[in-house]
C-alpha cells in the first residue's frame, strides 16, 4: 500500500509517501518514496519536495490555506514528470495517516477517521488550541481532495502515554478539576518514544515486557519518557507540550507564580505570557541568540558566549535531572535512548547529559559517542556500563504509515 503521511502545523504541512504492508512491516522493508514540506501557508509559501534518491526541489507558491497546500502537494505527486515509483494517479494513494497532537483520554490508540472521530478531535481543541485545529484542517482538506473512499487514520501524539498511572498523570491540584475539565498530564511525542522503544527492542533482542528504558527526545521540542514493561510510565510533557525539559523556544518546568508576577510587573496578558512561554523561552530565551542548538554550540565554542554556554548547561542539567528522576521511579532501567535532532546528532550534548552518572552505572564510550550522528543507530555506552546508552534516529512517519496499514486492514469497513 502507498500511504500518504501528513503532519499539519498551524502554517505548515509536512508529508511523506511510504510504501508498506503487513509483509513489509514484518521484514522491516517499508520504503519511503517521497517527502516534502510546505512552510508559511497563508502567504508566499516555501515548498520543498523530494522524490527519494533524487535531488531536492524548492520553489515558492502563493498557498492561502491547508487545502491549497495539499492540492499543490497532490498535483506534484501525480505529475507525470515527478515519477514517484508506482504512483501515476490519485488512485495509487491507498490511505492517509495523519499526525494528530491531542487525543486526550478518548483516543488511546490510532483510529480510522470518521465523523465521530472528527468531533472527538474537535472536543480536544481546548487542550491543544495551537495544534488540533491545524490537524483538523489537514483531515478536512484530505477528505475533500481524495474523497471519503480513501481511508484516513489518526495517529495521536498522546496515545502512547495513555498507559501512565494516575500517580504519574495527576497534578496535585483539587481532584475535582481533573473530574470537571480533565486537567491532567497527557504527554506528547508519543509516536517518537514508541518508535525508538520498538527499535531498541529489535536492537537489544528484548520483548516488549522486558523493555525498561528511558527515551530522551531532544529536538526543537524535547521530552523524556520512562518506559516500563514496554509502556509509558511517566513522561516530562504534561497537559501541553510546555512542561518538562528545556526546549528550543519553550522553557519547560516553571513555578506557576511566575505568571502572576509577570502579569503584575510587566502588564502581560495571558496571551502575551502564553506567547512568551511557547515562542520566546528555552534556549532562545536564555541565550538571547537562537533556538538552534547547533548555532549555540558554535557560539559557545568559537566565541565563548556566556549566555550560549549557560543555555547549553541548563538544557543538559534539566535532561540529566529527568533521567535521574525516572531511574528512581522505575527502580533503574536497562538503557537510555537518545533521539531527535539534538539527541541523534550532538555527541557533546549526550556527553554532557551523561557525565558524572557513572555512580548510577551509566558510562559513555567517547569514541563510539563521537561517531554517532547523521542518522546512525547503535550503542554508545562503555563496555562496563550497567545501563546501556543508545542513539536511535526517530521515524514518526514510518510508525504513522504502519499504524495506518494496520487500522485499514483491521477495519470492518472496506475502502
Ligand atoms: P523538530 O523537533 O522540529 O523535528 P529536530 O528533531 O530536527 O526538530 O531537531 C532540531 C534541533 O536539532 C535544532 O536545535 C538543531 O540545531 C539540532 N541539531 C541538528 N543537528 C545537530 C548537530 N549536529 N549538533 C547539534 N544540534 C543539532
Per-residue model confidence as pLDDT tens digits over 137-150: 999 999 999 998 99
Which of 221, 293, 396 should be mutated for ligand 1, with most atoms under 8 A from CB? 293
Please report the pLDDT score of residue 414 as a whole number: 80
Helix pair angle (132-146, 66-78), 10° resolution: 50
Distance between CA atoms of 212 and 205, rounded to whole angstroms? 13
Helices (H), 33-129: 66-78, 115-123
Residue 68 makes CB contacts below 8 A (sequence gap 6+) with 41
Q: How far apart are the first and last CA of the chain?
A: 12
Q: Going by CA atoms, what residue is nearest to atom 24 of ligand 1? A: 346
Distance of CA 315 from the midpoint of ligand 1 (Å): 13
Pick the atom of ligand 1 nearest to 340's CA.
6
User: From the DSSP assignment, how many helices (H) and strands (E) are in the chain?
Assistant: 16, 14
Distance of CA 147 from the midpoint of ligand 1 (Å): 36
- Cα distances (Å, whole numbers) of residue 326 to 169, 194, 217, 232, 357: 14, 17, 14, 11, 13
Pick the atom of ligand 1 nearest to 296's CA.
16
292, with CB counted inside 10 A (0-12, 13-18, 19+), is middle
12-27 tens-digit pLDDT: 999 999 999 999 999 9
| Residue 413: pLDDT band with limits 50, 70, 90 | confident
pLDDT higher than threshold 90 for residue 412: no
Distance between CA atoms of 339 and 159, rounded to whole angstroms? 19
Distance between CA atoms of 32 and 189, rounded to whole angstroms? 21
CA-closest candidate to residue 346, choices 306, 387, 381, 374: 374
| Residue 195: pLDDT band with limits 50, 70, 90 | very high
Which of 99, 294, 393 should be mutated for ligand 1, with most atoms under 8 A from CB? 294
219-240 tens-digit pLDDT: 999 999 999 999 999 999 999 9
Please report the pLDDT score of residue 60 as a whole number: 97
Catalytic residue among 157, 234, 305, 403, which? 157
Q: Which residues line ligand 1 (CB under 6 A)?
A: 219-221, 248, 292-294, 297, 340-342, 345-346, 373
Looking from the CA of 363 toward its CB, the CA atoms found within 13 Å total 9
Please report the pLDDT score of residue 382 as a whole number: 97
Distance of CA 392 from the midpoint of ligand 1 (Å): 14
Please report the pLDDT score of residue 345 as a whole number: 97
Distance of CA 407 from the midpoint of ligand 1 (Å): 32
Beta bridge partners of 392: none
pLDDT higher than threshold 90 for residue 87: yes
Distance of CA 346 from the midpoint of ligand 1 (Å): 8
Mean pLDDT of the chain: 96
| Rounded average pLDDT over 393-400 | 97
pLDDT higher than threshold 90 for residue 128: no
- Is 255 among the residues known to form the active site? no
Which of 296, 297, 339, 341 should be mutated for ligand 1, with most atoms under 8 A from CB? 341
| Residue 129: pLDDT band with limits 50, 70, 90 | confident
Pick the atom of ligand 1 nearest to 373's CA.
23
125, with CB counted inside 10 A (0-12, 13-18, 19+), is middle
170, with CB counted inside 10 A (0-12, 13-18, 19+), is middle
Please report the pLDDT score of residue 15 as a whole number: 98
Distance between CA atoms of 338 and 319, rounded to whole angstroms? 11
Please report the pLDDT score of residue 133 as a whole number: 94
| Rounded average pLDDT over 387-410 | 97
Distance of CA 15 from the midpoint of ligand 1 (Å): 19
Beta bridge partners of 339: 217
H/E stretch holding 7: strand 2-8
| Rounded average pLDDT over 244-273 | 96
Helix, strand and coil content of the chain, in percent to the nearest 5, comes to 40, 20, 35
Distance of CA 2 from the midpoint of ligand 1 (Å): 29
Distance between CA atoms of 239 and 177, rounded to whole angstroms? 13
| Rounded average pLDDT over 146-174 | 97
Pick the atom of ligand 1 nearest to 220's CA.
2
pLDDT higher than threshold 90 for residue 130: no
Pick the atom of ligand 1 nearest to 295's CA.
16
27-83 tens-digit pLDDT: 999 999 999 999 999 999 999 999 999 999 999 999 999 999 999 999 999 999 999
Across the beta sheet with 13-19, the strand order is 57-62, 44-51, 31-39, 13-19, 2-8, 95-100, 151-156, 111-112
Query: How many percent of the chain have pLDDT more than 70?
Result: 100
pLDDT higher than threshold 90 for residue 217: yes
**Residue 242 near residue 252 (C-beta atoms within 8 A):** yes
| Rounded average pLDDT over 74-102 | 95
Amino acid at each position: 500500500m502507498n500511504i500518504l503521511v501528513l503532519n499539519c502545523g498551524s502554517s505548515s504541512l509536512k508529508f511523506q509517501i511510504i510504501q508498506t504492508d503487513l509483509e513489509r512491516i514484518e521484514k522491516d522493508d517499508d520504503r519511503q518514496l517521497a517527502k516534502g514540506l510546505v512552510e508559511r501557508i497563508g502567504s508566499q509559501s516555501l515548498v520543498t519536495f523530494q522524490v527519494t534518491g533524487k535531488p531536492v526541489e524548492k520553489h515558492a507558491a502563493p498557498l492561502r490555506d491547508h487545502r491549497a497546500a495539499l492540492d499543490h502537494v497532490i498535483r506534484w505527486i501525480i505529475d507525470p514528470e515527478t515519477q514517484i515509483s508506482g504512483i501515476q494517479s490519485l488512485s495509487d494513494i491507498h490511505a492517509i495517516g495523519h499526525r494528530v497532537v491531542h487525543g486526550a483520554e478518548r483516543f488511546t490508540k490510532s483510529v480510522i477517521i470518521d465523523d465521530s472521530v472528527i468531533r472527538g478531535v474537535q472536543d480536544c481543541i481546548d487542550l491543544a488550541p495551537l495544534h488540533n485545529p491545524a490537524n483538523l484542517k489537514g483531515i478536512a482538506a484530505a477528505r475533500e481532495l481524495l474523497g471519503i473512499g480513501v481511508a484516513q487514520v489518526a495517529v495521536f501524539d498522546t496515545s502512547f502515554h495513555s498507559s501512565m498511572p494516575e500517580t504519574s498523570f495527576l497534578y496535585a491540584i483539587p481532584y475535582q478539576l481533573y473530574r470537571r475539565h480533565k486537567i491532567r498530564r497527557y504527554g506528547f511525542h508519543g509516536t517518537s518514544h514508541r518508535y525508538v522503544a520498538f527499535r531498541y527492542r529489535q536492537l537489544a533482542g528484548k520483548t516488549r515486557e522486558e523493555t525498561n528504558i528511558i527515551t530522551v527526545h531532544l529536538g526543537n521540542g524535547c521530552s523524556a519518557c520512562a518506559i516500563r514493561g514496554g509502556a509509558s510510565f511517566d513522561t516530562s510533557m504534561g497537559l501541553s507540550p510546555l512542561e518538562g525539559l528545556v526546549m528550543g523556544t519553550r522553557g519547560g518546568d516553571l513555578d506557576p507564580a511566575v505568571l502572576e508576577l509577570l502579569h503584575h510587573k510587566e502588564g502581560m496578558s495571558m496571551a502575551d505570557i502564553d506567547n512568551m512561554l511557547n515562542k520566546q523561552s528555552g534556549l532562545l530565551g536564555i541565550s538571547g541568540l537562537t533556538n538552534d542548538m547547533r548555532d549555540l554550540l558554535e557560539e559557545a565554542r568559537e566565541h565563548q558566549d556566556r549566555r550560549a554556554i549557560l543555555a547549553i548547561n541548563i538544557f543538559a542539567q534539566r535532561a540529566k535531572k529527568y533521567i535521574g528522576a525516572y531511574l528512581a521511579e522505575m527502580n533503574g532501567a536497562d538503557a537510555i535512548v537518545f533521539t531527535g535532532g539534538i539527541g541523534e546528532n550532538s555527541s557533546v550534548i549526550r556527553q554532557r547529559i551523561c557525565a558524572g552518572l557513572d555512580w548510577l552505572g551509566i558510562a559513555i564510550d567517547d569514541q563510539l559517542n563521537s561517531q554517532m550522528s547523521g542518522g546512525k543507530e547503535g550503542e554508545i555506552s562503555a563496555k562496563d556500563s550497567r545501563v546501556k546508552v543508545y542513539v536511535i534516529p526517530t521515524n514518526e512517519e514510518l510508525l504513522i504509515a504502519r499504524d495506518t496499514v494496520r487500522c485499514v486492514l483491521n477495519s470492518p469497513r472496506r475502502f
